[in-house]
Structure formats: structure tokens, C-alpha cells
Amino acid sequence: MATRKEPIWIARDLSKCSGCRKCEIACSLHHENRIWPEASRVRVFMLVPGADFPHLCAQCEDYPCVEACPFKALSISRKTSAVLTNYKKCTGCGKCIEACPGRIPHMHPADKKIVICDLCNGNPQCVKVCQEGGWDVLKTVTRREHPYKLYARKPEEQTRSLAIKLYGEKAEEFI
């Protein structure tokens, strides 16, 4: 009997992000076969100058987005433990967005279905391009290695924490 691999997660060192957006490009190329950041499963936010950061699914253990879907359009991958969207069942109602502590799932700009990080079937392209570029913002790790719930927060909350880390007391002037 094959042993199940431990679930992975994409750890983040947000203070290293340069805002290059290559993670968005790699994701959209992988999923959409073209550069289309609006359809990317990872989105880079910059709500304070110089405080860019990638925002993507934190793969919560309790999966509030999956539980909230009234149409059972979201499921959990047996291989990666990532959230998967069944586009035939998804109505784009947005209940998963409301349930997500980070408001991370979002509507595909054309299909009006929910898009969410599926970990690229265990080989996250955003991590690959970030590592190749030497930024090391994104890194694939096992879930137990990092407190991933810290990243299941809204972009505004992430920005506040990052700005304080980057600018100290001066951060209040930017927030």
C-alpha cells in the first residue's frame, strides 16, 4: 500500500517580494495558456508603496471555502490537499469568497467561475519562477513546517503587517 504524501503548502517571505509579478505570469501561462494576470490563481497586491506581496490560497486545514459552497463545486485534491474547482458545478455565487478568511478565491474574468490555487498538481509554477529568479519569496514546503494560517488574511491585513515590518513606526503614515 502506497503511503500518502504529506500535504504541501506555499510558504511566503513577503518582505522579499519585489513586485515583479512573475508568479502571476507563470500561473496564468500554466492555467490559461497566456499571460493574463487577472485570471491568475496568485495575485500580487501593493496597497502601500514598496509593500508588494503575493496573495494566494493558504490551504486552511478546515477548508471554510469548501464547506461554504452550496453547490459542492469545491473539493480537496487527494494528491495535494489543494482546493479544486469543478467548473461545471460552480455558479459563481461567491459564498466561498465570503467564507475565506483571506478572501482569496476570486472570479475568473471571463468564465465567472471561482479560481483558487490548485498547487499546479504538486508542482507550483509560481514557486518555480520565484526560485529561478532568486527572489525566494515563495517556497514549497510541507504544511507542518509553517504557520500557514497567518497568511489566511485579507490583503489589507497582510499589508498592515508587511508595512510595519518594512517601515516600522513610519508605516502608519502609509496605511
Calpha distance 28→120 (Å, rounded): 11
Which pLDDT score, from 0 to 100, does residue 102 have? 94
Which pLDDT score, from 0 to 100, does residue 144 have? 74
Mean pLDDT, residues 41-66: 93
Mean pLDDT, residues 45-50: 92
Residue 23 has pLDDT above 80, yes or no: yes
Q: What tens digit of pLDDT does each residue of 111-165 get?
A: 999 999 999 999 999 999 999 999 999 999 887 766 667 788 899 999 999 999 8
Which pLDDT score, from 0 to 100, does residue 148 have? 64
Question: Grid cell 474574468 — which residue?
Answer: 109
Mean pLDDT, residues 17-31: 97
Which pLDDT score, from 0 to 100, does residue 145 have? 64
Q: What tens digit of pLDDT does each residue of 63-119 get?
A: 999 999 999 999 999 989 999 999 999 999 999 999 999 999 999 999 999 999 999
Which pLDDT score, from 0 to 100, does residue 164 have? 92
Q: Which residue has the higher pLDDT, 13 or 144?
A: 13
| Residue ranges of domains in the chain | 8-174
Which pLDDT score, from 0 to 100, does residue 150 have? 74
pTM for the complete prediction?
A: 0.89
Residue 50 has pLDDT above 70, yes or no: yes
Closest to 73 (Cα-Cα) out of 62, 52, 87, 57: 87
Q: Band of the pLDDT at 6, cuts 50, 70, 90?
A: confident
Which pLDDT score, from 0 to 100, does residue 2 have? 47
Domain 8-174 of CATH type 3.30.70.20: yes
Ramachandran angles phi, psi of 24, nearest 5°: -65, -40
Closest to 17 (Cα-Cα) out of 126, 141, 100, 113: 126
Looking only at Cα atoms, what is the longest distance across the chain? 58
Residues 6+ apart with CB under 8 A from 115: 31, 39, 40, 41, 85, 105, 106, 107, 108
